[in-house]
Structure 1
Amino acid sequence: MPEAQALKSKEYETIYILRSDVDADTADKVQGRVAEVVARDNGKLVKVESWGRRKLAYPVGKQKKGVYIYVKYVGKGGLVQELERNLKLQDSVLKFQTVLTNKDVDVASVAVDPEEVKFQRLELPAEEEEKESREKALGLVDFGDGPRSMRGERSEDDYGDDIPGEEAGAEEPAAATGAKEGGEEEG
């Protein structure tokens, strides 16, 4: 029975978040480190996905956005500790989390699609470009003239000094001055 347990591994998912201002070379360095650690500890990468730049639930180290990377792999328990130790050493990694998805996996029986385990070159638009394109997609920008004015906003020219029905020096209406003059009392 101990021999059968020696062949079994566990399946894990790790999501790590890179700084939003990370350049492609730094992201490649982190991705290379992840692949190296998994291979060195006799693990096997199953799937790798880049989820792109997303807003964080709360600021982490003055960062409000981050680049999310998902990695699914198979290996022994020591692999997780080594991978997390390496992620902690990377300055560009804000956060990471590993989850055990399957306790009893035979590494030899795991089918891996070579396209799913390739780390893709991380090419993100600059945050300013991303914001501008989002505004254009929502129709908030008119042909490069800048952001549209909000509905209901008026310019200073829209507010005139004259109000219809009021003239300079006109008396206030009787309701506003207190129409109870002339000795009428309430009873």
Structure 2
Amino acid sequence: MSRQVTAPGRAKEYETIYILRPDIDADGAERIGTRLAEVVTREAGRLTKVETWGRRRLAYDIAKHRRGVYVYLKYLGGGKVVSEIERNLRLADGVLKYQTVLVRNDVEVQGLTVADEDVKFERLELAPIEDDRDDSRERQLGLIEPERRVDRSSEAAPAGDIDEAEEGEAEGAADEEES
């Protein structure tokens, strides 16, 4: 089993994407973000990019949710940083799913400059949750027929309400049958 050791001043680059519950409030999302930033700095890592992608539709339902708030983190550090971030995400109630990926194995830490805006967690400003029933891609593409509404005026009229034109047609059909 080979083990790769990074030289001093070098680190591994990771990306973590985590999905928050769609009904999470801005304070809850901010608490999770600050906790993750503290974990990265405590474990001698360095945040390089933070993006909030907003509320998006999930590929499949997770814990009966169809949507989730996506947050993207990019950071430098070792395996201990990753395990601590994932442990904190696992313990947070507002997190539905997360995934961490190793981007690069050997990154120079000293030469790296990061703007403060890139590592700042944005405050969530989400619109109220809407109903998803009419939002399906199949319905938008026309693969699913639209629901047919029953029109009361086109329903069959009761026997006593037959128009005169329909009476004439009915009598003509009866005469043909007798012939």
TM-score (norm. length: structure 1): 0.72
Once residues 32 and 91 of structure 1 are traced to their aligned partners in structure 2, the CA distance between those partners, rounded to angstroms, is 15
Q: Note the alpha carbon deviations across 1:100-149, whole angstroms, 9 max, x for none.
A: 00100121122212111110001111113x87xx9xxxxxxxxxxxxxxx
**Which residue does the alignment assign to 1:172?**
173
Once residues 164 and 12 of structure 1 are traced to their aligned partners in structure 2, the CA distance between those partners, rounded to angstroms, is 80
**Superposition map of 1:94-173 within 5 A:** 94-128=96-130, 155-157=151-153, 161=157, 166-167=166-167, 169-172=170-173
What displacement does 1:7 show? 2.6
Q: After superposing the two structures, state which structure 1 stretch, 155-164 or 28-37, moved more.
A: 155-164
**Unmatched 5+ stretches in structure 2:** 136-145
The 1:3/1:25 distance shift into structure 2, 3 A limit, reads: closer
What displacement does 1:82 show? 0.8
Higher helix fraction (1 or 2) = 2
Once residues 95 and 3 of structure 1 are traced to their aligned partners in structure 2, the CA distance between those partners, rounded to angstroms, is 30
TM-score (norm. length: structure 2): 0.75
**Unmatched 5+ stretches in structure 1:** 135-149, 182-187
Once residues 123 and 64 of structure 1 are traced to their aligned partners in structure 2, the CA distance between those partners, rounded to angstroms, is 19
Q: After superposing the two structures, state which structure 1 stretch, 24-33 or 3-12, moved more.
A: 3-12
Q: CA RMSD in A?
A: 3.1
Name the SS for the 2:53 alignment partner.
strand
Contact persistence 2:6–2:106 (CA under 8 A): no
What displacement does 1:3 show? 9.4
